[in-house]
Amino acid sequence: MSGALMAAASLYNDQRFLSKSEIRIYKNKIRRRRIAMCQRISLAVIVSVILFLIFFAASTMVIDAQSEAFEPEYKYYKVLTVHADDSIWKIASENMSYEHYETLDDYISEICAINNILGDKIYAGDDIVVPYFSKEFK
């Protein structure tokens, strides 16, 4: 029975248009549609959660994977005494690890930040802290 016929029957409340069995059939049809919709939504949510968990687990395993040849490098700091002919550029070029810094300026910026140096001025007799990397765990 169509929705229009149901609307007409409810307006006139006439037994000719609707029998009890037709009303029951119509209500059951609506109920089955609701149940089917709830089941589809539940299935979609369950599948989405399962897929999320699979992708999360897979990405976690891939991120944590390391090759057998991997050797970690540790960052350490050493104190150097500045001599009369030293400059921050000279100290940086002697101690910089090109594997960990893109440019000499990046390394100098880190040295200046660690030692609170404004500009590039250092003086003979000063002690400055310089970062370096080692594969040995100390």
pLDDT digits (tens, 9 = 90+) for 43-64: 999 999 999 999 988 877 766 5
- Global confidence as pTM: 0.51
Which ranges in 65-123 belong to alpha helices (H)? 88-95, 104-115
Hey, what are 15's tokens? 């037994």
> Where exactly are the structural domains of the chain?
3-64, 74-134
Report residue 121: phi and psi, to 5°: -85, 120
Angstrom distance (rounded) from CA 105 to CA 93: 10
Domain covering 74-134, topology: Membrane-bound Lytic Murein Transglycosylase D; Chain A (3.10.350)
Q: What pLDDT, on a 0 to 100 scale, did the predictor assign at position 1?
A: 58
- Write out the DSSP string of 48-73: HHHHHHHHHHHHHHHHH---TT----
Q: What pLDDT, on a 0 to 100 scale, did the predictor assign at position 10?
A: 64
Residue in this structure with the two tokens 């919709």, named with its chain if needed: 37
CA distance from start to end of the chain: 83
Q: What pLDDT, on a 0 to 100 scale, did the predictor assign at position 60?
A: 76
**Over the Cα atoms of the chain, what is R_g?**
38
Cβ pair 88, 108 in contact under 8 A? yes
Q: What pLDDT, on a 0 to 100 scale, did the predictor assign at position 14?
A: 57
Cβ pair 107, 91 in contact under 8 A? no
Positions of the chain with pLDDT under 50: none
